[in-house]
Structure 1
């Protein structure tokens, strides 16, 4: 499968904590474990021409993974529309952590996508609330991340097609941390963990969820429907008497 991992790639260049955890960028740790799973993985970052998301790149991408935070506003509207059209046409999209505020996620959701947050050392307990779903394969009743940024309800998203994970934090908050949506022919998965100053993407369970999500998000050759004015399939004209 052809996967593109898009990362804003700003924190790792200006924040010593982020750089120490992800010296080659979060996109490259994600690329590594997906490549080990057998996928053909490329990366793209904000400061590349067209943010690395040219029409050629997107046309070859079966699943796009998106991480952004500091510079959502710097992503060009033209590229956002290009990504959106590919999702509607069947490209899978996995939005991670602070990508909830990205232009592409907000455009596809049609809502503000806001939430509560707190930078602290909360423990996150992620509950698996749909154990038969392919995204939860290999994941038990729950798993824990010892230190993470807190996200809390209310999360301003549409009602998900499927709710996969719910998080609880030691501060008492809960959050819909794994949710799926369908837009056009495309499948979308939002997955909450991934604050840039914690080694979240090194954790086995987090990697497993992302690997499962990539397999789930790939378009399964669903039919392309015809829209607009359409000729009748049957001869429905009345016979002349």
Structure 2
């Protein structure tokens, strides 16, 4: 069974009543609820726990890390970021949601600013499926309609993705690469844009299905980590150097 850790800052929900009304137990609890219902072995971790809840032991028992952050990116310790980065390169999957695009770990893995345009106006978003045969799009029709979402607009300063699965169109006219996959080392990464804290996006069944699909796609293949450095020859070498 795939072992999932859902990480959330858990700041908005404790500090703002309007956000608490949408996610009374925290965004992480809502995410974990439908991932668990899908048969995934799911636990949660939050920013204010010791080591942000992401100790060596926790990460070593995590196949896929789901990340939601917004207002406290800089409070995440570099030590923990480096720990996550190492695990991703070794094969742990990473699903980055919404404003997690500005998290230290996503920026470190992308190697770019990861910046974009944004607007919070409660406008409609239509997520068009660009790769219907991709496993992350399984069970989804041609598009997903969201009545309200925060606008994220191009240009999105990230490297070209391995797959562009969703493109979001917003009522105000902007478009955005809303669902993209990457590989770093042995790890699979899925970035998915919807999920602003003041809208009930994570209660939407189609959005839930995409995230479940994303976790399953990011799950590591069980294999040994590649060995690097000096390598002894497997066969006799007949060299004429110096002859």
TM class by smaller structure:
over 0.9
Alignment pair present for 1:7 and 2:34: no
Alignment pair present for 1:96 and 2:97: yes
How large is the RMSD of aligned CA atoms in angstroms? Answer: 1.2
Contiguous gaps of at least 5 residues in structure 2: none
- CA apart distance, 1:238: 4.8
Mapped partners of 1:151, 1:65: distance in 2: 20
Cα offsets for 1:108-142 (capped at 9, x unmatched)? 00000000000111100000000000000000000
Contiguous gaps of at least 5 residues in structure 1: none
Quote the residue 1:83 is aligned against.
Answer: 84
- CA apart distance, 1:209: 0.2
Aligned-partner SS, 2:166: strand
- CA apart distance, 1:237: 2.6
- CA apart distance, 1:178: 0.2
Structure 2 CA distance for partners of 1:222 and 1:131, relative to 1, 3 Å: farther
Please give the TM-score of this superposition, normalised by the length of structure 1.
0.98
Mapped partners of 1:219, 1:141: distance in 2: 28
Please give the TM-score of this superposition, normalised by the length of structure 2.
0.97
Quote the residue 2:237 is aligned against.
Answer: 236
Q: How does 1:13-32 map to 2 (within 5 A)?
A: 13-32=14-33
Cα offsets for 1:165-218 (capped at 9, x unmatched)? 000000000000000000000000000000000000000010000000111000
Aligned-partner SS, 1:196: coil
Mapped partners of 1:202, 1:210: distance in 2: 12
Mapped partners of 1:159, 1:238: distance in 2: 42
- CA apart distance, 1:16: 1.3
Aligned-partner SS, 2:155: coil
Mapped partners of 1:154, 1:126: distance in 2: 17
Contact 1:185–1:222 under 8 Å retained in 2: no
